[in-house]
Chains A and B, each alone.
Chain A
């Protein structure tokens, strides 16, 4: 059993006739970094939204940790899967950068000291230390992106879904993100990352899934990792 399983999933937006995704079959394991690539409009963002329950598939089933996704509330999904939106503006809602990073922990009833300690760590790692008291939407695009990632990582979810996380990051910050994602993967957690950044994908991903016109046209994971390494 994989951690996140997508079986025969198709999806069409309401009041549209052309399906955005057709017959998707993908299983994602823990401790593996999977890259989801494909041209604009191929359905990558839609697929990630289905994976975290923001959209519901028209047919087919998605299972998280063995249980159908529809049985979870959004909050329960959020505690297991961290999702970084393609547009960071959509997920920043607090009054300050520090509050943003601590929001999930504080609302889950963590001790104040624990929250502060973790907030300090993530602000430091993503080089947002000087912006702790700033209004999140006043940050530059790259800073917002780093904040969105930090706020999701601070929750320490079991699995990560990142929609184009490298957009707006400079080479040095991309390297930092790469190191952190690899560290997460080594600690046994899996992730799916949507990216157009081929260099980044080459360095980070162990499996590459290519989506075109709403169908999976290539999946390096299918061949089996053993064959690749042989």
Chain B
């Protein structure tokens, strides 16, 4: 199935909006199922999601543990003296946080199933200024660059003889936080070089841009554009009603 990039953007907004709203693992799992079904429809390689999430695995474990420990509620499963360590409520909250990250990442993958040009074109036809649309698409393109950068640094650090797996947690955190700044700054330097090369090729020399193609909505687009927001709005209203009771 081929949908307009704008339709996909609306889908992503609906899915990630709901993921941020929901906090129970059950509903988040349902949402994940819908997202995965969408990805399959667009023939996205699901293995790639795994490789996207892999660098964030330790962060997710960390968040899970923190939530487990600091949001105790429900039955106590494991306690040290009077302090509840693992509770059913804590486990559910922890699982919720992790699932939320997975759903948002998976939904964002839908954006990867169309190219940056179509994305810009779609936004511009919705009267978004070209510069802004271009910036958003560059930001999207830089996400994988940033991930590659992280992978590179992790490799380079180990090749200097540091066994990252064996470094104790406390030391690892200080090391990562010391590396964070140079990595971000390095990525910014690369972005700056991109800006120079863009200007050298005449970006924004003429105030008006022309476009070769126009995107047209198909019938499938109209269906999705109706069903997704309608369903999302209905679910949000239901959620708010449930909270109110």
Interface residues of A (CB under 8 A from B): 52, 54, 73-79, 83, 85, 89-95, 103-104, 107-108, 135-137, 151-152, 155, 157
B226 within 8 A of partner (CB): no
A-B contacts, 8 of them at CB < 8 A, read: A54-B159, A73-B158, A74-B158, A75-B164, A93-B179, A93-B183, A103-B160, A107-B161
Q: Which of A73, A89, A108, A152 contacts B186 (CB 8 A)?
A: A89
> Which residue of A has the minimal Cβ distance to B190?
A89
B34 within 8 A of partner (CB): no
Which chain A positions have C-beta within 8 A of B157?
93, 103
Which chain B positions have C-beta within 8 A of A75?
158, 161-166
Q: Which of A73, A76, A91, A137 contacts B156 (CB 8 A)?
A: A91
- Closest chain B CB from A95 CB (angstroms): 5
Which chain B positions have C-beta within 8 A of A83?
159
Q: What 5 new A-B contacts, CB under 8 Å, besides A75-B166, A135-B185, A137-B189?
A: A75-B158, A92-B156, A93-B186, A108-B162, A155-B160
With A76-B163, A90-B152 as contacts: A135 and B158 at CB distance below 8 Å: no
Please measure, in the bound complex, the distance between the C-alpha atom of A79 and the C-alpha atom of B161, giving whole angstroms: 4
- Closest chain A CB from B196 CB (angstroms): 15
* Chain B 70-111: CB-based contact to A (< 8 A → 1; otherwise 0): 000000000000000000000000000000000000000000
B182 within 8 A of partner (CB): yes
> Which residue of B has the minimal Cβ distance to A152?
B160
> Which residue of B has the minimal Cβ distance to A52?
B159
- Complex contact B185–A93 (CB within 8 A): no
* Chain B 134-155: CB-based contact to A (< 8 A → 1; otherwise 0): 0000000000000000001101
- Complex contact B159–A107 (CB within 8 A): no
Which chain A positions have C-beta within 8 A of B159?
52, 54, 74, 77-78, 83, 91
Which 5 A-B pairs rank lowest in CB-CB distance, beginning with the nearest? Answer: A75-B163, A74-B158, A79-B161, A104-B160, A78-B159
B176-211 residues with Cβ-Cβ distance < 8 A to A are: 178-179, 181-183, 185-186, 189
* Chain B 101-140: CB-based contact to A (< 8 A → 1; otherwise 0): 0000000000000000000000000000000000000000
- Closest chain A CB from B10 CB (angstroms): 31
Interface size class on chain B is 20 to 34
Please measure, in the bound complex, the distance between the C-alpha atom of A54 and the C-alpha atom of B164, giving whole angstroms: 15
Give the one of A74, A94, A136 with max B CB within 10 A.
A74
- Complex contact B153–A78 (CB within 8 A): no
Q: Which of B152, B165, B185 contacts A73 (CB 8 A)?
A: B165
Please measure, in the bound complex, the distance between the C-alpha atom of A157 and the C-alpha atom of B161, giving whole angstroms: 9
- Complex contact A95–B186 (CB within 8 A): no
With A54-B155, A73-B165, A95-B178 as contacts: A137 and B160 at CB distance below 8 Å: no
- Closest chain A CB from B191 CB (angstroms): 12
Please measure, in the bound complex, the distance between the C-alpha atom of A42 and the C-alpha atom of B147, giving whole angstroms: 28
Please measure, in the bound complex, the distance between the C-alpha atom of A155 and the C-alpha atom of B158, giving whole angstroms: 12
- Complex contact A155–B161 (CB within 8 A): yes
Which chain A positions have C-beta within 8 A of B178?
94-95
- Closest chain A CB from B180 CB (angstroms): 10
Please measure, in the bound complex, the distance between the C-alpha atom of A152 and the C-alpha atom of B160, giving whole angstroms: 7
- Closest chain A CB from B167 CB (angstroms): 8
- Complex contact B156–A93 (CB within 8 A): yes
With A93-B182, A93-B183, A137-B189 as contacts: A107 and B156 at CB distance below 8 Å: no
> Which residue of B has the minimal Cβ distance to A81?
B159
Which chain A positions have C-beta within 8 A of B182?
92-95, 135-137
- Complex contact B161–A108 (CB within 8 A): yes
- Closest chain B CB from A86 CB (angstroms): 13
> Which residue of A has the minimal Cβ distance to B167?
A107
Which chain B positions have C-beta within 8 A of A93?
153, 156-157, 179, 182-183, 186
Give the one of A75, A83, A85, A89 with max B CB within 10 A.
A75
